[in-house]
């Protein structure tokens, strides 16, 4: 690989916005201004991406709404009952406003990093939908931006704010399973494509060029955007990155793996779709093998529910003393009764009791503390998801070093750390 084509890991960032000055991102720990509001100050919030999950972030007093689909905007505006929100199709207009303190981002995955970095640079706190980022270097840029500009960035993998996840965490982290040997996640397969047909005319209500943003240009088709973007590697990453961001967040929390800085070996196998244009795998099995301590994590699509405590998707935690099943990992998390009945000792581990994911974000904006799903944790978790997809796309085993955030002696795999952006959008110079 030539020197010009290597992905460099410097700590500055070139932005894309013609109307937005994007200063340099430097390494973590550099002092920046502290702009958190006081305890009694109203936090003025705007919402970027208001279809799908984005509808859930709209508040009665949201100051502004942004979406590239005018139908989404019109429907979202009805949810604002206190005042009249400003409506935008370009998120940069929101970031220019000095009266807005924080933004929620609920766009397709390929926009998360750019919007989060730009928001931090504009002085806004961020609640970003899962999955955290589309690529590994995007995730690192998001962390660097949050730290340099001292913004609170919460990833909306809300399982860590669920009471049942907290009870499961107390049970596992206090040694009730003994030493964890393996965690096995089962999940339904990715959606299958149906009749695709020819590209269609872009609806007059949709800014298709802005929807694509940094992603490669592609002709419009309704099965390519909105919900179905998940089944394209250019915008999503299948259920492994979508629901996997939830499931692996809970796994990382329960196994105390958030701070893992060692090496992990990843291999994946799966089948491709034989029809349609979806390019995520039709079936998928991923295995991650960790070191120091040694334990194994797997993801299987389609997987078989554990008969001990069956559910649509979940994970079986196997220790050298016992087994625990945890279902889902988002707003519908559940766990076996023995974890619900368990009372940790006073001097034992007590998982953080969140007041609710959104409220935790607001509380941390006021206090300056890190939220329960801080962007650094989100970056670590989604890296595991991305590693699984990379191993599948390469068709072979890879070894990743979390301390360097690089593959071990594998320049071909390193090319997947980031993907080029479509001009004029840019997130480069790492």
**Number of structural domains, the chain?**
2
Residue 205 corresponds to which tokens in the numbers above? 């209500």
- Residue 192 has a pLDDT of 85
Q: Which helix (H) or strand (E) holds 47?
A: strand 45-48
Residue 34 has pLDDT above 60, yes or no: no
101 within a domain of the structure (yes/no): yes
252 within a domain of the structure (yes/no): yes
148 within a domain of the structure (yes/no): yes
User: What mean pLDDT do residues 72-91 have?
Assistant: 97
Does 142 lie in the same domain as 41? yes
258 within a domain of the structure (yes/no): yes
- Residue 36 has a pLDDT of 57
Contacts of 243 (CB under 8 A, 6+ apart): 187, 313, 329, 330
User: What mean pLDDT do residues 186-203 have?
Assistant: 86
CATH number of the domain encompassing residue 343? 3.30.360.10
- Residue 196 has a pLDDT of 74
Does 44 lie in the same domain as 166? no
* CB distance 104 to 95 below 8 Å: no
The per-residue pLDDT for range 37-75, each reduced to its tens digit, is 655 579 999 999 999 999 999 999 999 999 999 999 999
The per-residue pLDDT for range 382-399, each reduced to its tens digit, is 999 999 999 999 999 999
Does 29 lie in the same domain as 65? yes
Q: Which residues, listed in sequence order, are joined to residue 285 by a DSSP beta bridge?
A: 269, 300
Owning domain of residue 293: 160-193+222-352
Please give the C-alpha separations between residue 127 and each of 120, 370, 374, in angstroms, as whole numbers. Answer: 11, 12, 10
For residue 294, how many other CB atoms are within 10 A of its CB? 9
User: What mean pLDDT do residues 293-301 have?
Assistant: 97
Does 233 lie in the same domain as 169? yes
DSSP class of 51:
S
Please give the C-alpha separations between residue 400 and each of 136, 138, 250, in angstroms, as whole numbers. Answer: 11, 16, 21
Task: Tell me the pLDDT band of 193, cut-offs 50, 70 and 90.
Answer: confident
Task: Tell me the pLDDT band of 197, cut-offs 50, 70 and 90.
Answer: confident
The per-residue pLDDT for range 127-164, each reduced to its tens digit, is 999 999 999 999 999 999 999 999 999 999 999 999 99
């Amino acid at each position: 690989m030539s020197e010009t084509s290597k992905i460099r890991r410097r700590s500055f960032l070139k932005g894309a916005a013609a109307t937005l000055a994007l200063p340099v991102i430097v390494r973590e720990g550099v002092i920046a201004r502290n702009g958190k509001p006081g305890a009694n100050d109203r936090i003025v919030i705007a919402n970027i991406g208001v279809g799908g999950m984005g509808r859930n972030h709209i508040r009665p007093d949201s100051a502004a709404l942004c979406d590239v689909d005018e139908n989404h905007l019109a429907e979202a505006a009805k949810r604002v009952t206190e005042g009249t929100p400003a409506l935008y199709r370009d998120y940069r207009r929101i970031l220019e406003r000095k009266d807005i303190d924080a933004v929620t981002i609920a766009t397709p995955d390929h926009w998360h990093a750019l919007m989060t970095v730009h928001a931090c640079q504009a002085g806004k706190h961020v609640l970003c939908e899962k999955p955290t980022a589309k690529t590994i270097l995007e995730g690192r840029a998001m962390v660097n931006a949050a730290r340099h500009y001292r913004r609170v960035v919460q990833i909306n993998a809300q399982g860590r704010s669920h009471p049942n996840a907290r009870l499961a965490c107390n049970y596992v982290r206090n040694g009730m399973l003994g030493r964890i040997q393996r965690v096995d996640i089962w999940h339904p397969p990715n959606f299958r494509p149906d009749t695709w047909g020819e590209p269609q005319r872009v609806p007059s209500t949709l800014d298709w060029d802005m929807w694509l943003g940094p992603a490669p240009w592609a002709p419009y088709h309704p099965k390519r955007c909105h919900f179905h973007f998940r089944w394209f590697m250019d915008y999503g990453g299948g259920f492994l990155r979508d629901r996997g961001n939830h499931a692996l967040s809970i796994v990382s929390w329960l196994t105390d793996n958030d701070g893992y800085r060692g090496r992990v070996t990843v291999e994946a196998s799966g089948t491709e779709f034989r029809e349609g244009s979806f390019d995520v795998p039709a079936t998928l099995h991923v295995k991650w093998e960790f070191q120091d301590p040694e334990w194994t994590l797997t993801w299987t699509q389609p997987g078989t529910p554990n008969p001990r405590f069956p559910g649509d998707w979940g994970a079986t935690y196997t220790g050298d003393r016992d087994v625990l099943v945890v279902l889902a990992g988002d707003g519908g998390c559940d766990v076996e009764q023995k974890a619900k009945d368990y009372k940790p000792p006073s001097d034992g581990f007590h998982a953080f009791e969140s007041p609710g994911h959104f409220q935790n974000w607001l509380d941390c904006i006021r206090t300056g503390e890190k939220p329960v799903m801080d962007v650094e944790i989100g970056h670590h978790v989604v890296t595991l998801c991305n590693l699984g997809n990379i191993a599948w796309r390469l068709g072979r085993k890879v070894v990743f070093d979390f301390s360097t955030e690089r593959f071990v002696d594998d320049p071909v795999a390193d090319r997947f750390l980031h993907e080029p952006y479509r001009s004029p959008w840019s997130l480069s110079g790492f």
